Structure 1
Amino acid sequence: MPKPPVAPLPPPRVLTQPMAMELLTPDAVVPIETTVTYTSRDPHALSIVFHLLDEAPVVWRVDREMVLTGSLTATGAGEVHLRPAPDGRLLLRLGPAGHCAEVRCDQDGLARLVRDTFVLVPQGTEENHIDWQPLLAALRT
């Protein structure tokens, strides 16, 4: 049986933005440099890379729509929760309850990056940007 033709994937598109964030601890506010990256090959999520001193970077993946919702109201599931801060910034709670980190960032800067992702990959077209072939090949074995 002949295979149906596979539509070519659009070329991958990547957005990368350095962003200063703050780790909130009971005793201090600690500045953390991060890099937020979006790739059209993983169209639903942002990767936030925390560059820590003398340690390998820590990467958290956050749903791009959750970021927009979290800038308006508390949202989240599992180990990722977001909510607007009283000072107009965005609070991210990352990790399991009782062992989580609370990070504060510029809400406008992160929301602007997320809006740019919707220009690259409009809502509803995400699946057109995913390379399904490796998954399908794995399922056949």
Structure 2
Amino acid sequence: MRTVEETVQARLILSSHRSVRLRVGLSYLPEDPLAVRMAFPAEFSLDDPAERRGSEDIVWVFARQLLSAGLELPSGAGDVHVRPAVGRRTMVELRAPEGTALLQFDAADLRRFLWRSRLVVPEGEEHLHLDADRALAQLLG
């Protein structure tokens, strides 16, 4: 099975009049079939600038189903919320103790990524790809 990876452009909304463009790495791993990953450049971290020098990307992991549902209707609870927006856009809100990030994506980019992930593991067949022993070993460290 192969990993699905795609780099897309997004806008980090800074205020009602300011935003900045950034690249976001999307990935889907068939060995973790319920999740998607979004990776952001470290320079967009809310951490202290001295702590992020040479840092790797910031990665958020959340349910593939949440991303899919959020393309159609406001979805999410807790740290990740996804909702459709005007003009074929999708908003992703990420909440952390350091603050909240609001990102705007082209919905077509997210749909294409999800479509590619479903070619690897069809929706509803995720349970066939779960490795309970590996997941338990990772959990117990």
TM-score (normalizing by structure 1)? 0.80
Q: Aligned residue pairs: how many?
A: 129
Gapped regions of structure 1 (runs ≥ 5): 1-11
State the shift of 1:45 in Å: 1.1
Q: Does 1:73 align with 2:73?
A: yes
What is the identity, as a one-letter code, of the residue corresponding to 1:31? R
Larger radius of gyration: 1
Preserved CA contact (<8 Å) 1:78 1:96: no
**Separation in 2 of the partners of 1:17 and 1:109?**
9
Measured on the aligned residues, the alpha-carbon RMSD in Å equals 2.4
State the shift of 1:52 in Å: 3.2
- From 13, 24, 29, give the equivalent of 2:13: 24
TM-score (normalizing by structure 2)? 0.80
2:47 is matched with none
2:34 is matched with 44
State the shift of 1:69 in Å: 1.3
Which has a greater percent of helix?
2
When residues 58 and 135 of structure 1 are mapped into structure 2, their CA distance, relative to the original with a 3 A threshold, is closer
| Percentage of matched positions with identical amino acids | 27
What is the identity, as a one-letter code, of the residue corresponding to 2:37? S
